[in-house]
Structure 1
Amino acid sequence: LFSFGGKLYHYSVPVPYLENEYLKIIGLFLIHIALLWVMIAQYQMQNSWRIGIDETHKTELRTNGIFGISRNPIFLGMIISVLGLFMIVPNALTFFTTLATYFIIQVQVRLEEAFLTKQHPVDYPKYTQKVKRFL
């Protein structure tokens, strides 16, 4: 919206009292930390990395490294990233994007948990007792 002119930005319903430099700096920090976090998680997944649920290939359950802190570090990074975006550009559009991202990820996580419970019936339930869903 900024690209098409400043007047269009007002249609995104900005939240002026959240527009300050401290929140922008925190938002930028969160986005960069989230990017690094996601890159580490993708690297540590190695051959287990898939987009979506792949029922044709059995993958190894990753429980060490960053997966010893969070069962869903990539999704956590995505949530933190959109939260950071909202802090940088606080308006109704980024707020609802943050909410939608959070709820869609919640649905996807539960689908993946059901799949992983079927694929790893002994190890995955033990893992869920040790490591939290996000943090």
Structure 2
Amino acid sequence: MKFFLLIYLILFYGVAFFWRSYVTWQATGINPYRLSNKDDIPSFLGRVYRLVFIGNITIVLLYILGPAHWYSYLGPLDWLEESVGTAVGILLLILAFPWVLISQAQMGSSWRIGIDEQNQTALVTQGIFRFSRNPIFLGVRLNLLGWFLIMPNAFTLALWLLGDVSIQIQIFLEENHLHQQHGIVYEQYMSITPRYLGIPGVLNNK
């Protein structure tokens, strides 16, 4: 179990973020990491993402490599430490990984971490993006929930909630940005494609 989590941690962050960033930079000459350090909401969210990112990695490594008694200091939620919850958490991790990778591949050179205000990006509406306007964010949300279910404690709960709320605020900001860039084309896309997941044109959670 711990070996699986360690390999997954390395693959998910290594492939989905570092490798994908390198591929995008090689293809476009643009650094896809667009989180700045200004005093505004996007920059604040960027700092939150980094906190969640570092915190999640730290707790996972502590759980995998640290002495057993260290984990008790994280405030374990014993009533959630059941085999069913763990199984659901593992399933979410397994589903989230290829979902994020496929979504990133289909975005191609348009993929960014944060809002790119300097470069125009193409609007991707095909493939997975026919069923979700934000499939990568959906995958990351599932990933955070999966980690919490596998390691239910006060810190992973806080990271899950903090990450999930921040992602939803970021989605709102990015959708406003895309609307400004693509205008009526994006409005039409929003009208038929759900924000997270669904059948195009049916129960659109705009």
Which interval holds the TM-score relative to the shorter structure?
over 0.9
Give me the whole-angstrom Cα distance separating, in 2, the residues matched to 1:4 and 1:73: 34
Give me the whole-angstrom Cα distance separating, in 2, the residues matched to 1:20 and 1:100: 24
What residue in structure 1 maps to residue 172 of structure 2?
Answer: 110
| TM-superposed deviation, 1:25 | 1.5
| TM-superposed deviation, 1:4 | 3.1
Give me the whole-angstrom Cα distance separating, in 2, the residues matched to 1:89 and 1:4: 14
Q: 1:11 aligns with which of 59, 66, 73?
A: 73
Once the two structures are superposed, what CA deviation does each residue of 1:47-89 show, in whole Å capped at 9, x if it has no partner?
A: 2112211122211111111011111111100000010111111
What residue in structure 1 maps to residue 57 of structure 2?
Answer: none
Local SS of the residue matching 1:63: coil
Local SS of the residue matching 1:97: helix
Could you list the runs of 5+ residues in structure 2 that have no partner in the other structure?
1-61, 198-206
Consecutive aligned runs of 4 or more in structure 1 exceeding 2 Å deviation: 1-4
Give me the whole-angstrom Cα distance separating, in 2, the residues matched to 1:4 and 1:63: 44
Matched, 1:66 2:128: yes
Give me the whole-angstrom Cα distance separating, in 2, the residues matched to 1:24 and 1:4: 20
Matched, 1:133 2:198: no
What residue in structure 1 maps to residue 96 of structure 2?
Answer: 34
Matched, 1:86 2:151: no
Q: 1:97 aligns with which of 132, 139, 159?
A: 159
| TM-superposed deviation, 1:18 | 1.0
Local SS of the residue matching 1:8: helix
What residue in structure 1 maps to residue 24 of structure 2?
Answer: none
| Matched residues, number | 135
Give me the whole-angstrom Cα distance separating, in 2, the residues matched to 1:114 and 1:107: 11
Give me the whole-angstrom Cα distance separating, in 1, the residues matched to 2:105 and 2:123: 14
Length-normalised TM-score, structure 1: 0.94
Local SS of the residue matching 1:78: helix
Taking every aligned residue pair, what percent have the same amino acid on both sides? 44
Could you list the runs of 5+ residues in structure 1 that have no partner in the other structure?
none
Q: 1:57 aligns with which of 105, 108, 119?
A: 119
| TM-superposed deviation, 1:105 | 0.5
